[in-house]
Amino acid sequence: MNSWADAIIVLVSGATAWTSLCDFSGRSRWAAPQYQKQSSTGELIGGHTVFFCDMGFGEGLLLSVEELDPPNYLYMRGIGNSGVFREVELHLTFKVVDILDGARVEIFVELDERNDTDGPVLSIVREWASDQLNTIKRRAELAPRTEQEHG
C-alpha cells in the first residue's frame, strides 16, 4: 500500500471550494468525452455516485462515492480493471477546511497495487491528484463570490 497527502490553499470560502471539488464534470482530466457518469443524483456528486475516471490514457478507474459529509469530507474508492490499472485499488479522501481568508483543500491517497508496488501507476496517480487540486483551486477562485466572501 502506497499513501501520501497533498493540499492546496484556496482564496475563497470552504463552501465554494467544496462545490468546485464536487463538480467533477468540469475537471481537466475528467472532462468530456473521457468523463462518463454511470449514475448520479444530480449535476454534482452525491452519495453512491459511480463514474469512470480516465487517468489520461483512455483507461482508468471506476470511482464510487463511499462517504460524503458536505461541505467538508468526501471519501471515494476506485477499482481498475484494464491496462496499467489492472488489479489496482485506490482510496481517495478529500477534505475542505476553512481557514482565515480562504480554505485548505486536502487530498489523501491510498493506492494498493497488487502486481507492482513501484510501477507506473504511482506516478500517474500522483500527477493526477496534483492536477485535481490545481483544477479545484482554479475553478473555485473563478466561481461567483458569495456575500460572505465579498467581506
Edge-first strand listing for the sheet containing 60-69? 2-10, 102-113, 88-99, 73-80, 60-69, 50-54, 36-39
Residue 8 has pLDDT above 50, yes or no: yes
pTM, to two decimals: 0.81
**For residue 148, what pLDDT is reported?**
52
Q: How does pLDDT run across 18-40, given as a tens digit for each residue?
A: 999 988 765 655 543 444 444 44
pLDDT over threshold 50, residue 129: yes
pLDDT digits (tens, 9 = 90+) for 39-66: 443 446 777 788 777 776 667 788 889 9
Percent of the chain at pLDDT above 70?
75
User: Which amino acid is residue 90, in one-letter code?
Assistant: L
C-alpha cell of residue 138: 482554479
More confident residue, 69 or 117: 69
Answer for the pair 87, 78: CB distance below 8 angstroms, yes or no: no
Which three three-digit cell numbers place residue 119?
510501477
Upper half-sphere CA count for residue 149 (Cβ side, 13 Å): 19
Cα dihedral 58→109→118→29 (10° resolution) = 20
